[in-house]
């Protein structure tokens, strides 16, 4: 268990230092297979991902019952619903990275660029806004992600999922860099009209 907890803390530090989350935003979870069934380790609510301690990480079962002390992220049900629908997912990273979230607040979509798997659709999938922490968001996100590895939450942020947590982290970085590249492209193209 210590290894799993340490991995979540490390990923939290990494995505904070890469400016994919700020303040107390974002959350991370990892599915852990045990002899008694799957459980989930998740970051706590209202704590910065920059300086988590092992005792901050909360363990929950698939019904959302806490198995350790602490209060899990308010998005715990969104994570659990995705795990329930996707046996192939063992790590989830939810960010509010500035460029990708900027797209989430706009009418522009993020193009799916080469670098992470087969391009099945030209744009990353998205879902309409649902209030964070609600059952409606959990249901909409778990359905909206389908078999994709990324989901844009309109007016909110981004979810990245993978077979392991490090891959989900790498994907979150890639999505933000893709959004940044596209933003710069839009700005350069619009500047041509002015020059």
Hey, which residues are catalytic here? 75
Whole-angstrom distance, CA of residue 52 vs CA of residue 44: 9
What is the strand order of the sheet 126-127 is part of?
Answer: 58-61, 37-42, 27-34, 91-95, 157-162, 150-153, 126-127
- What lies within 8 Å, CB to CB, of 175 at 6+ separation is 97, 100, 110, 124, 150, 158, 160
Burial, 191: exposed, middle or buried (Cβ in 10 Å; 0-12, 13-18, 19+)? exposed
DSSP state of 56: G
**Which residue, 101, 162, 157, 149, is CA-closest to 133?**
157
CA distances from 4 to 70, 142, 155 (A): 17, 23, 31
């Amino acid at each position: 268990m210590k290894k799993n907890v340490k991995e979540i803390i490390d990923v939290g530090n990494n995505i904070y230092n890469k400016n994919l989350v700020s303040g107390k935003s974002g959350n991370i979870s990892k599915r852990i297979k045990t002899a008694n069934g799957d459980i989930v380790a998740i970051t706590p609510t209202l704590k910065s991902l920059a300086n988590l301690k092992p005792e901050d990480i909360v363990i929950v079962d698939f019904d959302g019952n806490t198995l350790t002390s602490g209060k899990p992220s308010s998005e715990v049900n969104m994570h659990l619903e995705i795990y329930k629908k996707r046996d192939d997912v063992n790590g989830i990273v939810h960010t509010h990275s500035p460029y990708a979230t900027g797209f989430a607040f706009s009418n522009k979509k993020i193009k799916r660029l080469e670098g992470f798997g087969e391009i099945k659709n030209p744009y990353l999938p998205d879902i309409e806004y649902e209030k964070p922490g609600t059952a409606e968001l959990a249901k909409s996100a778990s359905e909206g992600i389908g078999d994709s590895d990324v989901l844009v939450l309109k007016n909110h942020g981004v979810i990245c999922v993978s077979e392991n947590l490090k891959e989900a982290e790498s994907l979150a970085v890639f999505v933000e860099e893709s959004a940044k590249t596209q933003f710069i492209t839009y700005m350069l193209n619009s500047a041509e009209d002015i020059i």
